[in-house]
Amino acid sequence: MPPRQQTDALRGSLDLLILKTLSLSPMHGWGISQRVQQLSKGVLEVNQGSLYPALQRLEKEGLVTSDWDTSDNNRRARYYKLTATGRRALGVELENWRRFAAGLESVLAVS
């Protein structure tokens, strides 16, 4: 697989959040948005509408896969799952993000 193109920080972070959330367990779209909010203790709020185009993009790239399943309240829902490639990509993205955050932090730390 060719290396993923560098994305802008915002889109990159949304992809990262999705991949990370899905690495914990397969989840439907609404669940992902709730989990992000919950894990970030309400700090990060995913724009719910833009979540789906991002999921579609990741699916086209083969990082996640999706299937219909039954939700906790017994409804039919589309569940997204990380693929092996997605798991590897998560590692790379995490590494990138940490480097980026560290860089940002060093710049901001200069008083």
The site for another protein (CB under 8 A) is made up of: 1, 28-30, 34, 47-50, 52-53, 56-57, 59-62, 65-66, 71, 73, 75-78, 83-85
Angle, vertex CA 95, rays to CA 94 and CA 99, nearest 5: 115
What separation in angstroms does the CA of 51 have from each of 31, 47, 106?
A: 11, 6, 31
CB of 108 to another protein, least distance (A): 31
Nearer to another protein, 20 or 51 (CB): 51
CB of 18 to another protein, least distance (A): 14
Sign of CA dihedral 23, 18, 32, 104: positive
CB of 24 to another protein, least distance (A): 18
Nearer to another protein, 62 or 103 (CB): 62
Indicate the SS3 state at residue 27.
strand
Strand runs labelled E in 1-111: 27-28, 64-70, 76-82
Nearer to another protein, 13 or 66 (CB): 66
Nearer to another protein, 13 or 37 (CB): 37
